Amino acid sequence: ATPTAILAGTGRGAQLGILIAGPEALEQARRIDTVVLDKTGTVTSGEMSLARIRSLDASVDEDALLTLAASVEDASEHPLARAIVAAARDRGLALEPVADFRNEAGRGVVGVVDGAEVRVGRVVSQPQDGAGAVEVSASDSVIAEFSSAGQTPVLVRVDGKPIGVIAVADTIKPTSADAVTHLRELGLEPVLLTGDHELVAKAVAAEVGIDRVIAGVLPEQKAQVIAKLQSEGQKVAMVGDGVNDAPALATADLGIAMGGGTDAAIEASDITLVRDDLQAAVDAIRLSRGSNRVIM
């Protein structure tokens, strides 16, 4: 939304901390039947912390595994990376120098430590609506164990060989479950969309009452997922916060950026929330449906 357009959304919406780009947004809000929710930072707080560490290699203990992972993650701004680095610092571990660092959005990070290529990142990707399988599955029970508990598993590989799994936990925002109930009361179908592992997504979905989950989606595929739902005849609202969400927010019939969202997400959206919880998105839809005149 342009700054001028945001100015148009003064009045009642602004009082509630809901900035509406213009009359088209209100029109779209009346027509939507599906609300796609980004998981991390939208349904969950996105404030991650280390949950567990499991070595898969007898010669690598927990601290050595954490040191390797944190060394490579040190250059990443991703919440998963911040959690891993913070945990290493808490344990007083000294990070190692990293050469040839690369960030692969929605996949993980890579770098060379002591002559070996260390890769920290996603474990598996199931083929999903609009998204093909992209990486090999490390079919380890550790991954299933962690992810079915709702913790995001991150695989650490050295020269291609899996040496351990680090699980990072996020927390569900306190208002998310009620907000999902309210979406249903408005006749809207909630869908959870994420780049995270499918089992993690399902665990979060179950806790907030969402039945439909689209997981393992790469950042560049999020918009395709929205387009696919639209091609099936659905009128889609998307609620998100991240840079990665911007193309999907722009593709959706109604894009809603969460409070605290990135500039890219806000610019791609029709509605911007000041509050940082999902209930604000419900309020925005309700308000838009209720009355055009009050808001404009």
Of 91 and 102, the one with the shorter C-beta distance to ligand ADP is 102
**CB of 12: closest distance to ligand ADP in angstroms?**
32
- Residue closest to 258 by CA, chosen among 22, 39, 49, 4: 39
- Which residues are part of the catalytic machinery? 38
Nearest by Cα to 288 from 27, 7, 1 = 27
Among residues 70, 79, 81, the alpha carbon closest in space to that of 47 is found at 79
> Which region, judged by CB under 6 A, interacts with ligand ADP, from 1-9, 23-31, 100-108, 157-165?
100-108
* Token pair for 204: 């979060």
Considering only residues 37 to 56 of the shown chain, the ones binding ligand ADP according to CB under 6 A are: 39-40
Nearest C-alpha neighbor of 273 from the set 34, 6, 24: 6
Q: How far is the CB of 5 from ligand ADP (least distance, A)?
A: 26
Q: Are strands 116-121 and 254-257 parallel, antiparallel or unpaired?
A: unpaired
Binding of ligand ADP at residue 157 (CB under 6 A)?
Answer: no
Task: Give the x/- contact pattern for ligand ADP in 204-243, rule: CB under 6 A.
Answer: ---------------x----------------------x-
**Of ligand ADP, Mg ion, none, which one does residue 261 interact with (CB within 5 to 8 Å by kind)?**
none
Is residue 176 within the footprint of ligand ADP (CB under 6 A)?
no
Q: Is 268 a binder of ligand ADP (CB under 6 A)?
A: no
Catalogue the E-assigned strands of 159-267: 161-169, 189-193, 212-214, 236-240, 254-257
Question: Cα dist. 205→107, 150, 157, 271 in Å?
Answer: 22, 10, 29, 24
Rounded (5°) CA angle 177-181-186: 145
Question: Which region, judged by CB under 5 A, interacts with Mg ion, from 13-21, 212-220, 240-248, 288-296?
Answer: 240-248
Per-residue binding string, ligand ADP, 107-126, x by CB under 6 A, is xxx----------xxx----
Classify residue 141 as exposed, middle or buried by CB count within 10 Å of its CB (0-12, 13-18, 19+).
exposed
- State which of residues 36, 65, 78, 288 lies at the interface with ligand ADP (CB under 6 A): 78
Cα gap 79→10, rounded to integer Å = 33
Q: Which stretch binds ligand ADP (CB under 6 A): 29-37, 75-83, 227-235, 273-281?
A: 75-83
The DSSP symbol for 172 reads: B
Q: Which of 8, 9, 18, 38 binds Mg ion (CB under 5 A)?
A: 38
How many residues contact ligand ADP, by CB under 6 A? 22
Q: Does 251 bind Mg ion (CB under 5 A)?
A: no
Could you give the CA distance from residue 274 to residue 268 in angstroms, rounded to a whole number? 16
The residues of the shown chain that bind ligand ADP, judged by CB under 6 A, are 39-40, 73, 76, 78, 80-81, 106-109, 120-122, 152, 154, 194-196, 219, 242, 244
The residues of the shown chain that bind Mg ion, judged by CB under 5 A, are 38, 40-41, 241-242
